[in-house]
């Protein structure tokens, strides 16, 4: 509940104000051998916004996300995170730096319960050493109780109390996606990357997910970058949209503007969207 709104830890851990540039991508190019996945792309993500990355299949959206969270390192260009140019790093370093993500295909531990899956999101925040954790006593136990509380708050927030003890593999797809979001939230990220959070969902599940994404954004001030194919969702949720096509940026701006852009219509939407 209210204890969950912890601005000191959630939103402001870099001490950045809303509206400042949180992450900037400058002239980034990424190639796999001869295949150019991303060519000379620049854009920024501002603290507190919902930023959408869209584009047709193979446009380089997921590659872009992988670049942002440090899984791929671009051959050219720079990434500025919280005002500092970032060097090559490992994904877990990105994670401890305040970037969390969900995946296009659900990537959870199917045999583990919802609760345990979300607890894994707290792993990086565990401070007690290996021995204590093995004993599950003393400081490790105390720490675990604290983390459990945080996790319970997230469970409450995403309204998944009923599946707390259910193995994730037994859950319907829509709920698995929500558990994945919960795990990402458990890391209390500053920037949350969502790779097609609504893929394969029905209308009701999409509405629920949209509401949760907005709630996360408003309640915790978490900056969100999302890839999504459902245009209705993108237009409703996001503050700014960047459009990629064949690894190039073809538009960048507020949803209405992007929607009206002829390049985008030609490349992706085909026909003007009715609004």
Partner 1 sequence: MAGSPVVERLDEDTFPKILLRNAKVFADRPAMREKDLGIWQAWSWSEVLEEIRTFAIGLQDIGFTEGDRIAIVGTNRPRLYWTMVAAQSLGGVPVPLYSDSVAEEMAFVLEHAEVRFACVEDQEQVDKLLSMSEGLPRLEHVIYDDPRGLRDYDHTRLHSFEEMQAVGRKALDADPARERAWLERIAKGKGDDISVMLYTSGTTGRPKGVMLSFDNLVISGRNGNAFDKLDEHEETLAYLPMAWIGDHVFSLAQAYTAGYCVNCPESLETVLSDRREIAPTYFFAPPRVFEGLLTHIMVRMEDASKLKKKMFDVFMGVAKRVGERILNGEDVGLKDRLAYWLGEILVYGPLKNQMGFTRLKVGYTAGEAIGPEIFRFYRSLGLNLKQLYGQTEASVYITMQPDGEIFGDTVGKPATQVELRIAENGEVLYRSPGVFVGYYKNDEATKSTKTEDGWVLTGDAGFIADNGHLKIIDRAKDVGKLTSGALFAPKYIENKLKFFPDVKEVVAFGDGRDFCGVFVNIDLTAVGSWAERNNVNYASYQELAQHPLVYDMIERHVDQVNRDLAGEPMMAGAQIKRFLVLHKELDADDGELTRTQKVRRSFIAERYAPLIEALYDGSTEKHVKTEVTYEDGRKGALEATVEIRDMTLHPASGRNIQEAAE
Q: Which residues bind partner 1 (CB under 8 A)?
A: 1-2, 5, 148-149, 152-153, 155-157, 159, 161-162, 164-165, 203, 215, 218-219
**71, 60 Cβ separation under 8 angstroms:** no
Cβ nearer to partner 1, comparing 81 with 212: 212
Min. distance of Cβ 275 from partner 1 in angstroms? 19
Least spacing, CB of residue 233 vs partner 1, in Å: 16
Closest approach, Cβ 43 to partner 1, in A, equals 28
DSSP 112-171: SBHHHHHHHTTGGG--S-HHHHHHT-THHHHHHHHHHHHHHHHHHHTT-GGGTTSBGGGS
CB of 254 to partner 1, least distance (A): 22
Query: Quick one: 79 or 163, whose CB is closer to partner 1?
Result: 163
Angle at alpha carbon of residue 63, lines to 59 and 69, rounded to 5°: 145
Number of CB atoms found within 10 A of residue 237's CB: 23
Q: How far is the CB of 25 from partner 1 (least distance, A)?
A: 31
Q: Could you tell me how many helices (H) and strands (E) the chain has, helices first?
A: 10, 10
Please identify, using beta-carbon distances, which residue of 1 and 131 lies nearer to partner 1: 1
Which phi and psi angles does 184 have, rounded to 5°? -65, -40
Residue closer to partner 1 by CB (options 131, 145) is 145
Nearer to partner 1, 108 or 163 (CB): 163
């Amino acid at each position: 509940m209210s204890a969950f709104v912890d601005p000191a830890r959630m939103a402001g851990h870099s001490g950045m104000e809303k509206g400042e540039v949180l992450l900037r991508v400058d002239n980034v190019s990424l190639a796999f051998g001869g295949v150019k996945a991303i060519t000379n792309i620049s854009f920024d993500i501002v603290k507190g916004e919902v930023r959408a990355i869209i584009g047709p299949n193979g446009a380089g959206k997921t590659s872009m996300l992988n670049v942002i969270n440090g899984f791929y390192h671009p051959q050219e260009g720079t990434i500025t995170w919280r005002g500092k140019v970032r060097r090559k790093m490992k994904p877990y370093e990105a994670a401890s730096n305040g970037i969390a993500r969900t995946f296009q295909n659900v990537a959870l531990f199917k045999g583990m319960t919802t609760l345990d899956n979300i607890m894994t999101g707290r792993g990086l925040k565990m401070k007690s050493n290996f021995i204590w954790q093995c004993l599950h006593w003393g400081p490790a136990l105390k720490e675990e109780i604290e983390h459990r509380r945080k996790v319970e708050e997230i469970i409450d927030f995403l309204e998944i109390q009923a599946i707390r003890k259910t193995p994730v593999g037994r859950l319907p797809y829509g709920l698995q996606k929500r558990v994945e979001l919960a795990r990402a939230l458990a890391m209390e990220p500053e920037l949350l990357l969502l790779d097609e959070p609504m893929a394969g969902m029905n209308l009701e599940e999409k509405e629920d997910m949209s509401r949760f994404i907005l709630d996360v954004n408003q309640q915790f001030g978490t900056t969100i970058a999302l890839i999504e194919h459902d245009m209705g969702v993108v237009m409703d949720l996001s503050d700014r949209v960047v459009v990629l096509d064949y690894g190039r940026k073809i538009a960048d701006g507020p949803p209405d503007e992007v929607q009206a852009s002829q390049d985008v219509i030609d490349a992706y939407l085909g026909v003007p969207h009715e609004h």
